[in-house]
Chain A
Amino acid sequence: MPVAPEFPVDLPDDPIDRAPALGWTAITLGVATLSLALTNAFSIESWGADLPPSAAVAHIMDEAGHWRATMDRIGLGAPRETLHHGWKGLEETRWPAQQGTTSAAHDGADEGRDG
């Protein structure tokens, strides 16, 4: 029978846990949110495109488009773009025997996916 803690978030005691951690958590989440807003503007734009159309959403999409263009211009979108292209390359890799004979199922699955 596996021996596992009843609650996964229970860690061994440490003196660091005696201090309140709400501020530490808020800063962590704030820094993470800001960093992602700077480096992952693509996802903000994609999110706007998936929202039900309305005047407010059109405004959000405009702003998200400007934001993404600005982040791309200063190079902050480059790490995600490079990683994404690398991953897409891995997705498209085939075994030697599969070259040119990719199944229809795969072709269908690949449709509608962005590059």
Chain B
Amino acid sequence: MLFPTLTFGIFFLITFAAVWSARSNEWRKILLLVASWIFYGAWDWRFVPLLIASALMNWAVAQGLVSERFVDRRKALLLCGVAINLVILGFFKYFDFFTEQVGATLAAIGFERDLPVLRVILPIGISFFTFQGISYVVDVYRGRVVPARLLDILLLMSFFPHLVAGPIVRAADLVPQFQTRPKLDRSIVSMALLLIVWGLFKKTVIASELAVTFVDPVFADPASHSALDLVFAAYGYAVQIYCDFSAYTDMAIGLAALLGYRFPRNFDQPYRAQSLQEFWRRWHMTLSAWLRDYLYIEALGGSRGGKLATYRNLMLTMLLGGLWHGANWTFVIWGGLHGGVLAVERLWADIAPKRWPPLPGWAKLLVTFHVVVLGWIFFRAPSFADAMTYLEGIVAPFAGASGFTASPLIVLLIGFGLAMHAAPEHWMTDVAVRVRRFPAPLMGVGLAALILVIDAMRFEGVAPFIYYRF
């Protein structure tokens, strides 16, 4: 059930009416839980028990952590909880990938074997809800959050607005909100509706149009496209993935807000970053904060081991962050590129002579943007060989590949997608502050008019969000 469909619209209106009609907070949470399971089950009912089992396991581990007094046993319990989450994630996401790699390695050293490849179906959202489970048990172990009731944990991990593609909402952010019946005010609703409409526009108009009419055909056959096409398609993918993923989280934040809950920001105009470190403070902010807190600092030690250890930890964090996106070497290379550049940025900050003038802001922005675009080529390409073919076509154009296939509309959409990063940072807040004073009928007609315009412009059909497969 995709957000920008009428099926989801009907589902949401029914859920909205039912949840706000509930007499008690407990019933409201139960209704939300059932709605979330229906939402998840609409994709594949077989994985609803997995979602429930994952929540039950994390709840049980957290209960054990607070009742256990011995330090060693607490630590063992924590490791057990984290390991089970990782085994679930590893089996569904990486089993076939690692089996294939082991098979290839054995063949290379002369021990060819037929290893079982199970063609495991990847449950959507598994990367998000397992990370949520890990952060919950670690936070309980560290005493950052108190263990939540079973109903709250089930809802935390199943809540449908963030279930399949984030943002990664931690227990500390959401569970306290579950404790009392929420209230709606006009400010929250105005901002929520704006976020939903803006997300709808970014996904159905910009991302879908760019993907289907330009980016997908160029990435599918880079050898028959000119260098100019390849460069524009790389820029196009940078805009597409931003408009696709940020659209999902905008809509998720808006939908949750209409149900009375606040989600953290997940994107903040990432392509205006002047360093890769700043990029990661603006792109998928809940994932980068998760990787920083639980992997870079908690598991690897952060910068506590000196400069070399810091560079190593940055690299490892981004390599694993790349692998989190999918079982493919292209994601590992993407992560390695980001980790390497982050380490170089840190090294340069340590050794750069103080008297050297810093680069101007626009130059830093351009360099950062092009490092990110280079990474997106590996991220988007089906394989490492395809990515290299793509890059080869930019550096040394293929014979016979000439011309420019992007239409004026595509160039306009790429330009618009980049220009939105130069907009005032709080433009949507400013609009919401104005529209919250509108009478409800005017607000309703305005909302319908915006959706009608978007629907008239949207590309036919709705492709799944890119991050659904992560």
Contact = CB atoms under 8 A, between A and B. Distances in A.
Nearest to B458: A87
Given A5-B265, A106-B407, A108-B217, A33 B13 contact: yes
B6 A47 contact: yes
Given A1-B281, A9-B191, A31 B441 contact: yes
A35 B455 contact: no
Contact of B184 (A8, A22, A36, A98): A22
A34 to B, nearest CB: 8
A94 B408 contact: yes
B186 A21 contact: yes
Interface stretch (B296-304, B310-318, B378-386, B428-436): B428-436
A91 B409 contact: yes
Interface string A88-115: 0011111101100111011011101110
A16 interface: yes
B448 A36 contact: yes
A32 B456 contact: no
Given A16-B436, A90-B409, A32 B451 contact: yes
Nearest to B183: A20
Interface stretch (B33-41, B256-264, B354-362): B256-264
B449 to A, nearest CB: 8
B433 A97 contact: no
Given A8-B195, A21-B185, A31-B444, A40 B403 contact: no
B403 A91 contact: no
A3 B429 CA distance: 14
Contacts of A101: 403
B186 A16 contact: yes
A9 B254 CA distance: 8
A93 B187 CA distance: 41
Interface in A1-60: 1-12, 14, 16-17, 19-36, 39-40, 43-44, 47
Contact of A7 (B183, B264, B449): B264
B188 A9 contact: yes
Given A31-B448, A33-B13, A35-B445, A105 B218 contact: yes
Interface string B194-223: 010000000000000100110011101100
Contacts of A112: 460
B96 interface: no
A8 B265 contact: yes
A87 B253 contact: no
B16 A29 contact: yes
A11 to B, nearest CB: 4
Nearest to A25: B189
Contacts of B5: 47
B212 A109 contact: yes
A80 interface: yes
B265 A4 contact: yes
B448 A11 contact: no
Q: Which of A25, A27, A101, A113 has the most CB of B within 10 A?
A: A25
A40 B455 contact: yes
A63 to B, nearest CB: 14
Interface in A57-92: 79-80, 83-84, 87, 90-92
A6 to B, nearest CB: 6
Nearest to B212: A109
A11 B432 contact: yes
B343 interface: no
B309 interface: no
A15 to B, nearest CB: 10
A109 B290 CA distance: 39
Interface in B441-470: 441, 443-445, 447-449, 451-453, 455-457, 459-460
A28 B456 contact: no
A21 B189 contact: yes
A44 B6 contact: yes
Contacts of A14: 186-187, 433, 436
Contact of A97 (B187, B404, B432, B437): B404
Nearest to B265: A8
Contact of B460 (A3, A35, A114): A114
B392 interface: no
B215 to A, nearest CB: 10
B268 A4 contact: yes
18 contacts: A2-B425, A7-B263, A8-B191, A8-B265, A9-B188, A16-B186, A24-B443, A25-B184, A25-B189, A27-B440, A32-B447, A32-B451, A35-B452, A83-B453, A95-B404, A102-B405, A109-B213, A109-B216
Interface of B: 5-7, 13, 16, 20, 183-193, 195, 209, 212-213, 216-218, 220-221, 253-254, 257-258, 262-265, 268-269, 278, 281-282, 403-405, 407-409, 425, 428-429, 432-433, 436-437, 440-441, 443-445, 447-449, 451-453, 455-457, 459-460
Interface of A: 1-12, 14, 16-17, 19-36, 39-40, 43-44, 47, 79-80, 83-84, 87, 90-95, 97-98, 101-103, 105-106, 108-110, 112-114
9 smallest A-B Cβ distances: which pairs? Answer: A31-B444, A105-B217, A35-B448, A83-B456, A27-B440, A17-B185, A11-B187, A47-B6, A32-B447
